[in-house]
Structure 1
Amino acid sequence: MRRLLSTLALTSCLLTGFQTISWAQSLPGLTLFSGVKGENQLPFRLDFGGQTNSTDRYILRIPAQKMKLAVAQFAITYPDYYNGTFDTKNVEVRVKGKKVALSEVKWNQEGRVIEIFPQEPVPAGGRVELELSNVQNPAFGGVYYFNCQILSPGDVPLLRYLGTWIISVS
């Protein structure tokens, strides 16, 4: 089956002159030296390839095994050298593929944090996707560490580190 698909892709390029789109450029690859332990690296997808100065959609995933506590707030921090922009009106949260109602999304540009508040706490044990649409990628390529922190309901009001998305824009 793999050989057949490869042959079809190559044939279509030769006959039409168009290249097939590769999803590999928009997914995280193997990261050897990042400073982030493997168990703390979170999966993600950039729907439009992560090109500089272009609009993109970031699908930031949190695996079910990382969701050990219910979540009343998600906080995504990013480095000071990331100069992209976010659209707070185009943020969605999905739990096990189902959309969750949000009460508020705040973007603190000075503090470099996006805060997402679901109307009801997101239950523990489910796979979560944070979808940031209409993101304007930075003007310069690079590797950006987006950290995920959570606040559990009824907990001490301190954010807990959940993991890091290592996002590459080229």
Structure 2
Amino acid sequence: MVFSQKFSSVLSKLPSKLSRTQIFSGLAAVGVLLAGIPAATFAQSNPGLVIFSGVGNRSNILNYHLKDGRRNVRDDRYKLRIPANKIENGVSRLIVSYPDYYEGRFNLDRIEVGYGERYRNKVEVAYTDLQEECYAIENQNGRRDLYHCLNISLEETIEAETPIEIKLSQVRNPWQGGTFYFGAHTVSCLDRDREQPDSSCFSDPENAPSVGRLDTPFRDARRIQLADVGVWILTID
């Protein structure tokens, strides 16, 4: 896991307006579980057996598929999957965190989200944004490792216990290969709009109560829950 399990309950109790310092400090404090994960590891770049990962609980290693998986490829496709047993609450937003030394590029206009059996059902993506240095983790050497966040907000909520696939198309892979730990996080709405009970927690960037928008108020004082659901261990050859 990227964040500690305690962080979900902490975030839901935060005040209606958050400062960048509050979120950044909180994430840095609870992110110590990543400290000590080795930079070099053996893993297949497509779904397969992870020989050594540094992740304590193997059930937290998530499945994925890369169309190519080679360095400096300009048009790769990533399929990042989350199993149903990891989705404990309805999902209104997905967050993919990744280390700052991953120098690939994502096309924010080419992101799709599927769910259900074989991910045949599609949910519209309301908007996406990319936040650099969304949090930091202090490693064993006392240095602060920085992470970026790819935020994907959904038009509708995906119900609990439903498998999800995030498809990132037209990805430009980093020029230098390696193994990269991508964190999977979900944002759930704990009290939806009474007038629109089937709506998402938020519908536009200005009202998004999430890590991606650090200094905006919670819309209608709603509470959200951020859950860390696992890690994709991507290998770029």
TM-score bracket relative to the smaller structure: 0.7 to 0.9
User: Partner residue of 1:133?
Assistant: 169
Structure 1 match to 2:54 = 35
Q: Give 4+ residue runs of structure 1 displaced > 4 Å after superposition.
A: none
Structure 2: gaps spanning 5 or more residues: 1-43, 135-147, 192-222
2:83 aligns to what?
A: 63
Query: Does the aligned pair in 2 maintain the 1:28–1:167 contact within 8 Å?
Result: no
1:76-155 equivalences in 2 (<5 Å): 76-96=96-116, 97-111=120-134, 112-154=148-190
CA contact (8 A) 1:73 1:116 kept: yes
Please report how far the alpha carbon of residue 26 of structure 1 lies from its aligned counterpart in structure 2 after TM superposition. 4.8
Would you say the 8 A contact 1:143–1:166 is kept in 2?
Answer: yes
State the shift of 1:125 in Å.
1.4
Distance, in Å, in 1 between the alignment partners of 2:102 and 2:58 is: 23
Distance 2:160 2:225 in 1: 18
Query: For 2:179 and 2:101, how far apart are their aligned partners in 1?
Result: 10
User: What one-letter code is carried by the residue in structure 2 that aligns with 1:77?
Assistant: S
- Which has the higher Rg, Structure 1 or Structure 2? 1
Shift of 1:28: 2.7
- CA RMSD of superposed structures (Å): 1.5
Give the total of aligned pairs: 145
TM-score (norm 2): 0.58
Give the drift of 1:91: 0.2
- Contact 2:104 2:173 (8 Å CA) reproduced: yes
Residue 158 of structure 1, CA deviation:
4.6
Q: What is the Cα deviation at residue 159 of structure 1?
A: 2.0
Distance 1:126 1:158, change over 3 A: closer
Which ranges in structure 1 are unaligned for 5 or more consecutive residues? Answer: 1-24
Instruction: Report the counterpart of residue 231 of structure 2 in structure 1.
Output: 164
Matches within 5 A, 1:6-17: none
- Say which SS state the counterpart of residue 39 (structure 1) adopts: helix
SS of alignment partner, residue 72 of structure 1:
strand
SS in 2 for 1:150: strand
Render the CA deviation track for 1:88-118: whole Å, top value 9, x for unaligned.
1000000122111111111123431100111
**Secondary structure of the structure 2 residue equivalent to 1:147:** strand
Indicate the larger mover: 146-155 or 38-47. Answer: 146-155
